[in-house]
Structure 1
Amino acid sequence: MTVTTETPSRASSRIDAVANEYYDQLLRLHPEFATMLGLEGRESEYADYSPAGRAADAEAARQALDALEGLEPVDAVDAVTLDALRERLGLELEIHATGITELNNLASPAQSIRSIFDLMPTETVEQWQHVSTRLANLPEALGGYTTSLRTSRDAGQVPARRQVETVIGQCREYAAEDGYFEQLAQNASPAEGTLPAELQVDLTTNARIAAEAYGTFADVLETDLLPHAPDRDAVGREYYQLMSRYFLGATVDLEETYAWGIAELTRIIRQQQEVAQAVRPGASVAEAKEILNSDPERTLHGTDALRTWMQDLSDTALKALQDVHFDIPAPMDRIECMIAPTQEGGVYYTGPSDDFSRPGRMWWSVPAGEEDFTTWAETTTVYHEGVPGHHLQIATQTRLKDTLNNWRRNVSFTSGHAEGWALYAEQLMLELGFLSDPGDHLGMLDMQRMRAARVVFDLGVHLELDLPADWDAELMGAGAPGQTWDPELGYAFLSQHLDISPGQLNFEFIRYLGWPGQAPSYKIGQRLWEEIRAERQRREGEDFDLKAFHTEALAVGSVGLDTLRNALLG
C-alpha cells in the first residue's frame, strides 16, 4: 500500500529568493530546461548556443553570486543553499573562463539539441505542433553552437580529433534519409487520432530541415574543426583538476585517488574470484561468466523482453523497499522503463516532470544488432538507475517543493553525488540481500570493477601518469611497471576489465577520453558517500538508524560532496 506523506514546509528566505531568481533566469535562457521539467510555455524554442548565449549564462551566475553577498542563512536548509550556490556557480565561471566549447560523443550540445525531442510530450496534436516548430528552429541552435566551436578554435581550444570524428559520424546518422528525424516524422501518432494533413506535411518538412542541418553541421566539423583538432586525447592536469572538482563538488588528491583506484580494483577482482566459486567450485571468473551466459533462464531475447524485465524488476524492488528501508511516498512510487530511440549504447535515467505527470524514466540505448541480454549482468544496473538509485534520489528532491527552493530541486546537480549514490545503492542492495544470487552478485562486482577501472584509466591517461612499480600485470592485464599511460594502453586495459560488447566498449572508451573527470566521479563519489555514512555511524553508535540517514541525506538534494559532508557531519 502506498503511503502519502506531507513534506515539511518552511518560510522562503532571502537566499531562497536569490536561488529562485537564478532558476527563473535559467528557464528564460534555456527553454529545453523547461521541457525537461515538463513546464509549458516555450516548448518549441532553443537556447542560444552562440558565444553571446554562453556569456549570458556566465553573467547570470555572476549576478546571483553578487546578490548573495552579505546574506546570512536563517536555518540549516539555507546554509546548504548558500554553500551549494557559491560552489556550483563559482565553478561555472571558472569553466567559462577556459574558453572551451564542449564537443564529445555523449554530453555536448551536438547530442542534446537532438535528444530534447525524446522528452517532449506527443499525446496531442498541439504537442506535435510544438515538435514540428522546434524542428524548424533546430538549424539556428546548431548554427549558434557552430559559432561557439569556431570561436574556441580561433582561441586555440579544439576538441581532440577522436571526438570530432565520432561526432561527425553521429551527426551523419542523424541526417540520414532513414535516420532519427525521418523516423520521428513517420511515426507521429497522437493519442487522440491522426495528425491533420497540413501538420503532417509541416512535420515531415521540418524533420527534413533538421536532418539537413545536422548534415551541414557534420560538414562544418569536417572542414572547419577537424584539420585543427589535436591527436592528443589527454587534457592535462590543470583542466582535469578543474573538471574533477566540477563533477565531484569536492577537491581530491589526484595521485592518492589514482593509487586508491588501483587498490580498489585489486580488491574487487579478488572478491569476484571468491564469488565465482559459488557459481561453480573451481571456476575462474571467466568460466563463471560463461556458465551464467549459457543459462537460458538468465537470458532475454529482444528489446521487448528487456523492457518488460526492467519494469518488473524495478516495480518489485520499489515495493520491497517502500516503507521498510526507504520512504517512498506517492507520486515517487512510479518509474517507467523505456527502450531509447537511439542506438548509441548506455543506460540512463531522466527525472520526472515538476508535477510528476511525466514519471521518472530509465532508458536503455541498445546498439544496433544487439538482441540478447543477460539478466545476471544487468540486475545491478536496474537498481543503479531506478530504485534505490537515481530514481529515489532525483524524485525526492523534485518532490520537496515546500522545503527546497526551485534551484535546489531542479538545477543543483553533481555527478559525484548522483552517481556516487547510485553505486552506493548497488552496494546497499547487496547488503540488504537483493543480490544474494551468486550470478547477480558477480554482475554487481563486474559493474563495480568497471567503475574502479575507470578511475585508474581516466587519471592515468589524462594526467599521463606512470604505472606503479608494483603493478600486477597478471591481475590487471595490460601494462608494465613504470610504463606511461596512453590511449592505446588504456583501451587494452579497459578491454580487460569492462565485460561489455565491442560496440559498448568503443563508446565508453571515447566517452572517457572526451569527458575528463566524469567517469571516475561514480566510484570516487561512492567512496565519499560511504565515508560520510561511516562517520555518522561512528558518531551515533547504537542510535544510528540507516533508514533515517537515507531520508535525511536524500532530502539534502544533489549538492557537491563537500557541501553534503558539511550538511550531514557539520
Structure 2
Amino acid sequence: MTHSTTETSIRRTPTAIDAAADEYYQALLALSPEFATILGVPGRETEYGDYSPAGREAEAEAARTALESLSGLQPVDDVDAVTLDAMRERLGLELEIHATGITELNNVASPAQSIRSIFDLMPSATVAQWEHISGRLANVPDALTGYAESLRASRDAGKVPARRQVEIVIEQTREYAAEDGYFEQLAQNAKPADAELPAELQVELTTNARIAAEAYGAFADFLQIELLDAAPARDAVGREHYALMSRRFLGAAVDLEETYAWGIGELERIITEQRRAAEKIEPGASISEAKEILNADPDRELHGTDALRAWMQSKSDAALAAMKDVHFEIPAPMDQLECLIAPTQEGGVYYTGPSDDFSRPGRMWWSVPAGEDRFTTWAETTTVYHEGVPGHHLQIATATRLKDTLNAWRRNVSFTSGHAEGWALYAERLMHQLGFLDDPGDYLGMLDMQRMRAARVVFDIGVHLELAMPESWNEELMGAGAPGQTWEPEVGFEFLAQHLDLSAGQLNFEFTRYLGWPGQAPSYKIGQRLWEEIRAAREEQEGGDFDLRAFHTEALAVGSVGLDTLRRALLG
C-alpha cells in the first residue's frame, strides 16, 4: 500500500472488494438489530440479536464467509488494499478469539451492560419511537436468556470470568432490576415531543419496563447461583489470552515485555514533566500542592451536572470553531457535537458516533457516579478534547461522512481501540502543541491524564502477565524490607491510587475495568505511541514537504483500522 491524498476528493466506483465488505456489513446488521440502532438504520427497532451460543456461531460463520469471499480478489486501488488488509486482520483475529470459547463478562463492556445501554441511543422524540422502546423492553428477557446460555456453555468448558467481575455485574444488574431503577425511571420519564403519550402506551411501557427489570433480576440470580461459585479468584488472564486481547484492541502485535518496560519509562518521564508544570503554578510546589491550589480556585470549579454539561458544550463548541478549516477539515454536518450527562451513574466519559445520515449527531456522554456533584475544569479540559474535537468526534464523524470513498464496513464496522483511543491521546498532546493547553492548570490536567494512561500500561500488562514489579517500587508499594514482588491486584490498586487522580468511586470502577477487560486500557497509550511513530516516519519520508494538516486529513480518511494496517497504508 502507498499513501494517497485522493480519498476525500474522488467519488469511487465500488469494487468487488467493496461488495464483499458491504455484504458482510449487511450480515452484521441482520445478526444485530442493536448495531442497526447504533447506526440509525430503521426497521428492527424492537429486536435484539441472539446472544446464545448459536448466535455467536452465526457471527463466526458470517466472518468465515466474508473471508472466503475475499479470497482471490485483487485490490484495484489503495482504498481496496486497505480494506483487504483490514478485513483479513480484524475478521481473522475474531475467529481466533471465537475459537477460545470464552464468553465475556465484565463491569463495563459486555452484554450485561449493552443489552440495557442500547436504550440510551434509541430516539425518543415521538410516540412511535416510544412504541419501539416499549417493544424492545419486552424482548430483554430473551436477550438475557441467550447470554446466560453462552455463559453457561463457557462455564461448562472451564472458562469462567473472574469472581470479581461476576460480583460487580451481580451488583450492577440488581440495580437495573430495582423497583426504582433504570427501567422504571425510563417508563416514568416517557415524554414524546410530538404528542401526549397515549394512556394505553404508558401502561404497556410500565408493564414492559417491569418485565425487563425482572429479567435483569433473574439474570443476577443466575450469576449468583450458577456462575459465582465456579468463578476463579484469580484476576490475571495469562499471556496467551492477553496477547489475543492486546491484538484485538491494537490491531498490532507488540512485544509485551518491551512495551511494559517502555510504560515504566514513560510514566517516570511524565511525572518529571508534571513536576516542572507544578513549578509554573506555584514556585516550589509539588504536584499535589499544585493540584490543591487549582482545586481551591473558584474560577475552575463547577457545581452540579447541569453546570458540567453546559461547560462541556461550551468548551466543545469553542474547540470545534477554532479547529474548523484551520487545523482540520470539518465540513457540515460534522460540525455538530452534542454534550450530555449519561443516564447511568457507573463512571467514565464516552463518545457515541453520529447516525449514518447524521440525523443523530455525535455525542459526548459523562456518566457521573452517585453523590458526585463538584467538578474542576483544569482536570477535565483535556477530556473534552479527547472525546470531542480533535479527538473521537473528528475521527469517527470523518469516517461516517466518507460514503463516496469508504464502503460501509470501513465506515461503520471497522473499529480498533488502539487506533481510536491512540488518536484521542495524540489529539490531547496536539492541542498542547497548538497552544490550546497553555494554561498551566489545563496543561497539568492533560499530563495527569497521560500519567494515568501510562500507569495503566504498567498495571494491565504487569498484573495480567504476573510480571515482576520494578525493584525500586517494591518498598514504595509493599513497605520497607519488602522482597521482590510480582504484580497482584491489591498491590496494583495501591499503585493506581498513586497515579490516577480520581474519586474513590471512579478509581474502583477503573480498577475493576482493567482487571475484567484485559488489553483495552493500555491500547490508549500504546496506540498514541504508534500514531506518533507513524507521523514521525512520514515527516522523515517527506522532509520539508511534510504538511501536518494534510497528514491528518489523509490519516483520518483511512478510518479506524488496526494500527499495523494504518502503518502500511500511510508509509507504504
In structure 2, what is the Cα distance between the partners aligned to 1:460 and 1:51?
Answer: 32
Shift of the alpha carbon at 1:218? 0.2
Q: State the distance in 2 between where 1:478 and 1:535 align.
A: 45
Distance 1:507 1:461, change over 3 A: same
Query: Which residue pairs with 1:547 in the alignment?
Result: 549
- Whether 1:433 aligns to 2:445 is no
List gaps (5 residues or longer) in structure 1.
none
Q: Distance in 2 between matches of 1:519 and 1:9?
A: 37
List aligned pairs for 1:191-340, cutoff 5 A. 191-340=193-342
**Contact 1:235 1:516 survives alignment (8 Å):** yes
Aligned-pair distance for 1:483? Answer: 1.2
Question: TM-score of the superposition, structure 1-length normalised?
Answer: 0.98
Per-residue CA deviations over 1:447-486 (Å, capped at 9, x if unaligned) read 0000000000000000000013454866999996731100
Q: Partners in 1 of 2:268 and 2:455 — Cα distance?
A: 10
Residue type of the alignment partner of 2:173 = C
Q: Secondary structure at the match of 1:363?
A: strand
2:176–2:213 Cα contact (<8 Å) kept: yes
2:64 alignment partner, one of 56, 62, 65: 62
1:368 aligns with 2:347: no
Q: Which aligned pairs between 1:26-425 and structure 2 lie closer than 5 A?
A: 26-425=28-427
Q: Following the alignment from structure 1 to structure 2, what is the Cα–Cα distance between the partners of residues 447 and 380?
A: 8
Query: Within 1, Cα distance between the matches of 2:481 and 2:445?
Result: 25
Show structure 1 runs of 4+ deviating over 6 A. Answer: 475-481
Structure 2 CA distance for aligned equivalents of residues 217 and 470 of structure 1: 45
Cα distance in structure 1, aligned partners of 2:489 and 2:169: 18
Q: CA contact under 8 A between 1:462 and 1:516: conserved in structure 2?
A: yes
CA distances 1:172-228 after superposition (whole Å, capped 9, x unpaired): 000001100000000000001321011100000000000000000000000000010
Q: Secondary structure at the match of 2:289?
A: helix
Q: Which moved more, 1:435-444 or 1:189-198?
A: 189-198
User: Can you list the C-alpha shifts for 1:129-175, whole angstroms capped at 9, x where unaligned?
Assistant: 00000000110000000000000000001000000000000000000
Letter in 1 for 2:336: R
Q: 1:534 is matched with which residue? A: 536
Change beyond 3 A, Cα 1:442–1:515: same
Superposed CA offset, 1:99-142 (max 9, x none): 00000000000000000000000111000000000000110000
1:113 to 1:475, Cα distance in 2 relative to 1, 3 A = closer
* Aligned equivalent of 1:490: 492
Q: Aligned letter for 1:146?
A: A
- CA-CA distance at 1:43 after TM superposition: 0.4
| Percent pairwise identity | 79
Alpha-carbon deviations, 1:536-558, whole Å to 9, x = none? 01111111100000000000000
Give me the whole-angstrom Cα distance separating, in 1, the residues matched to 2:298 and 2:93. 50
Q: Secondary structure at the residue paired with 2:375?
A: strand
Partners of 1:274 and 1:44 lie apart in 2 by 55
- For the structure 1 residues 561 and 478, does the alpha-carbon distance in structure 2 shift closer, same or farther, using more than 3 Å as the test? farther
Contact kept in structure 2, 1:467 and 1:479, CA below 8 Å: no
Point out where structure 2 has 5 or more consecutive residues left out of the alignment: 1-6
Conserved? CA contact 2:8–2:557, under 8 Å? no
| Distance in 2 separating the partners of 1:193 and 1:53 | 38
The CA distance in 2 between the partners of 1:463 and 1:477, in whole Å, is 23
Structure 2 distance, partners of 1:476, 1:258, is 20
Conserved in 2, the CA contact under 8 Å of 1:258 and 1:460? yes
Count, aligned residues = 566
Equivalent residues of 1:478, 1:492 under 8 A apart: no
Q: Distance in 2 between matches of 1:280 and 1:493?
A: 26
Does the CA contact (< 8 Å) of 1:246 and 1:414 recur in 2? Answer: yes
- 3-state SS of the aligned residue for 1:551? helix
Question: Counterpart of 1:447?
Answer: 449
Q: CA deviation at 1:8?
A: 2.7
Change (3 A) 1:428 1:370: same
Distance in 2, matches of 1:204 and 1:362, equals: 29
- Opposite residue 464 of structure 2, the aligned amino acid is H
Q: 1:367 Cα shift?
A: 0.2
Render the CA deviation track for 1:337-362: whole Å, top value 9, x for unaligned: 00000000000000000000000000
- Check the 8 A contact 2:115/2:143 in 1, yes or no: yes
Q: 8 Å contact 2:8–2:402 — kept in the other structure?
A: no
Q: Does the 8 Å CA contact 1:176/1:211 hold for their aligned counterparts?
A: yes
What amino acid maps onto 1:512 in structure 2? Answer: Y
CA drift of 1:6 comes to 7.8
Determine the C-alpha separation between the residues in 1 that align with 2:19 and 2:505.
47
Check whether the contact 2:415–2:561 (CA below 8 A) recurs between aligned residues.
yes
SS at match of 1:362: strand
CA contact under 8 A between 2:477 and 2:491: conserved in structure 1?
no
Structure 2 CA distance, aligned partners of 1:73 and 1:473? 57
Q: State the SS of the aligned residue for 1:27.
A: helix
Task: Provide, for residues 368-413 of structure 1, a one-character-per-residue CA deviation record: whole Å limited to 9, x for no partner.
Answer: 0000000000000000000000000000000000000000000000
Q: Name the CA distance, whole Å, in 1 between partners of 2:455 and 2:385.
A: 21
Q: Return the letter of the residue paired with 1:502.
A: A
Is the contact made by 2:474 and 2:485 (CA closer than 8 Å) also made in structure 1? no
SS in 2 for 1:348: strand
Q: Aligned letter for 1:528?
A: L
Give the Cα–Cα distance (whole angstroms) in 2 for the partners of residues 510 and 240 of structure 1: 16
Structure 2: how far apart are the matches of 1:300 and 1:481? 45
Instruction: Give the 5 Å matches for 1:472-491.
Output: 482-491=484-493
Output the CA distance in 1 between the equivalents of 2:431 and 2:376.
Answer: 19
Aligned with residue 508 of structure 2, among 494, 497, 506: 506
Normalised to the residue count of structure 2, the TM-score between the two structures is 0.98
Residues 478 and 489 in structure 1, CA contact (< 8 A), matched pair in contact too:
no
SS in 1 for 2:139: helix
In the alignment, is the contact (CA less than 8 A) between 1:113 and 1:141 conserved in 2? yes
Q: Which SS does the other structure have where 1:490 is aligned?
A: helix
CA contact (8 A) 2:474 2:484 kept: no
Contact in 2 for aligned 1:7/1:400 (Cα 8 Å)? no
Asked if structure 2 preserves the Cα contact closer than 8 Å seen for 1:122 and 1:128, the reply is yes
Is 2:34–2:48's contact at 8 Å kept on the other side of the alignment?
Answer: yes
Of the structure 1 ranges 476-485 and 329-338, higher mean CA displacement relative to structure 2 is found in: 476-485
2:127–2:197 CA contact under 8 A, matched in 1? yes
Check whether the contact 1:478–1:496 (CA below 8 A) recurs between aligned residues.
no
SS in 2 for 1:47: coil
Distance 2:277 2:124 in 1: 46
CA RMSD across the alignment: 1.4
